[in-house]
Structure 1
Amino acid sequence: MSVSYLVQAEHAQAAMFCRTFDRIIDGSRNVFVRFDKEYAYGEAHDAWKEYAKTVGESAADLLSADVGVSEYGEKENSDLIERYGIKTADFPQYRLFVKGTSGLGSPIAYTGAAKTDEFVRFVQEKAGAWIGLPGQIKELDEIAKEFMGSTEQAALLQKAEAAAASSTQDTAKYYVKVMTKATGDKDFVAKETTRLKKMMEESSVKPAKKEQFGRRLNVLSSF
């Protein structure tokens, strides 16, 4: 049995093989596993590759693993999908094994859309492993998550302004702008999200601008 997986490190992302799946999910690390047919392709596959790349470029305490299942011949890795009650007709399937748990038999099933940003949000929420989508800044992201439901928005805004002042990323000021607007309009985040999504659909918008809007939407998703 072979399991292909991607190891996330500060400067590298390497494809490797491991004979024992249980060694990978021994509870010493967060592991997000995709179970799919042996030679996967298509939009879901592309989204997963982009997710693994995003994780690989971060310093997240997280491993992304691929279990390719063959339906013919020796039916490689079919024992693993049987263990977790996965049917080939439902491929791709995803399971999160959380660090510090005896995860061999109790992974968390992912049931969302096969989209890169959705994978990221799921892992951040369930494993507490901050990855960061393009445009997101960890320190400001943490403030943003507190902001909308807080009674101390003024103090959080000041904290965000200080953090943004020391950041070189172009979205730092956008975090502050969103917080400032949202202080007087609790629906601002929802309205701004709708506005940017609509603008991204316009054919006249240049690719660079769409990229900027995408980064801003990632920031908005943190609130």
Structure 2
Amino acid sequence: MHQLVAFLGLVFIAETTGAINAKGCTPLDSWTFDKIVPKFKAAIIKFDIAYPYGKKQEEYTKLSAAGRGSVDLLVAEVGVKDYGDMENMDLAERFNVKKDDFPVVKLFLSGHEDPIDFDGDFTDEELKKFIRRHSEVYIGLQGCLEVFDRIADKFIATENLNERKSLLREAEDEWDKIKSQSDQKIAETYVKIMRRVVEKGSDFIDLEKTRVRGVMAGQITKEKRDEMEGRLNILKSFAHDEL
């Protein structure tokens, strides 16, 4: 009877605090870790308390949602207990994770023995940038589209005007294929940025980022702020140092 009460108490705590695994996020333990992680090109794993909650858990849940469409990326959690059966404490010790540092995020890449530690601001956007910076796995920033991000990568990597014009035409062709009205608007933003870069040069990217940040610093509606955040994220696709 006491065990049943204790179990129901844990369920109540988990439900009322949001202390559950992030939706779409794979829970790992000492038995499953080495069976699952090597199957992916990249695996981002959060080491945390057994029943995580709060702002950082919410941000990790957003990351999990963003990564749901990538077959090459595993978003996972390891819940560590320093009491009772000491569940997954061996994994924490194996990767030199300390309880006082929770949550700790590490990126495991196929073919690499040692993981890469995440040390940025704990937001879903910074976690996405971290994944993109260190792997070839695509996970887009909010308001971005993969096919256009791929074109943007090639576009900004070359200074050859003819190559840029060719990539601009490729982006225009992809824009024509889109059926979704919201995605059409996003595609239009990519194309317009590329047109301005062809006209004015690469300096346009930094100038436009400054302009957009200035708009966001003012008094604007939520709809306008969301629009500007999406535009800023697209501009970041044209600046490798920000990914």
SS class of match (1:68)? strand
After superposition, give the CA deviation of every residue in 1:167-215 in whole Å (9 maximum; x if it has no partner).
241110111111122231322212222222332233x312122221122
SS class of match (2:87)? coil
Matched, 1:118 2:143: no
Q: Among the aligned pairs, what percent are the same residue?
A: 31
Instruction: For 1:40-189, list aligned pairs within 5 A.
Output: 40-56=52-68, 58-99=69-110, 101=111, 105-150=113-158, 151=160, 152-167=163-178, 168=180, 169=183, 170-183=185-198, 184-189=200-205
Flag the structure with higher strand content: 1
Q: Could you tell me the TM-score, scaled by structure 1's length?
A: 0.82
Q: Which runs of 5 or more structure 2 residues have no equivalent in the other structure?
A: 1-19, 239-243
Classify 1:42/1:192 alpha carbon distance in 2 versus 1 (closer, same or farther; 3 Å): farther
SS class of match (1:128)? coil
Cα offset, 1:26, TM superposition: 2.8
Q: Which runs of 5 or more structure 1 residues have no equivalent in the other structure?
A: 8-12
Q: Could you tell me the TM-score, scaled by structure 2's length?
A: 0.76
Give the count of matched residue pairs.
210
Question: 1:27, 1:98 within 8 Å by CA — same for their partners in 2?
Answer: no
Classify 1:149/1:128 alpha carbon distance in 2 versus 1 (closer, same or farther; 3 Å): closer
Flag the structure with higher helix content: 2
Tell me the equivalent position of 2:42. Answer: 30
SS class of match (1:64)? strand
Name the larger-Rg structure.
Answer: 2
Question: 1:5, 1:64 within 8 Å by CA — same for their partners in 2?
Answer: no
| The one of 200, 210, 220 aligned to 1:205 | 220
Output the amino acid matched with 1:126: H
TM superposition outliers: structure 1 runs of 4+ over 3 Å: 4-7, 13-19
RMSD of Structure 2 on Structure 1 (CA): 2.4
Tell me the equivalent position of 1:190. Answer: 206
Classify 1:42/1:197 alpha carbon distance in 2 versus 1 (closer, same or farther; 3 Å): farther
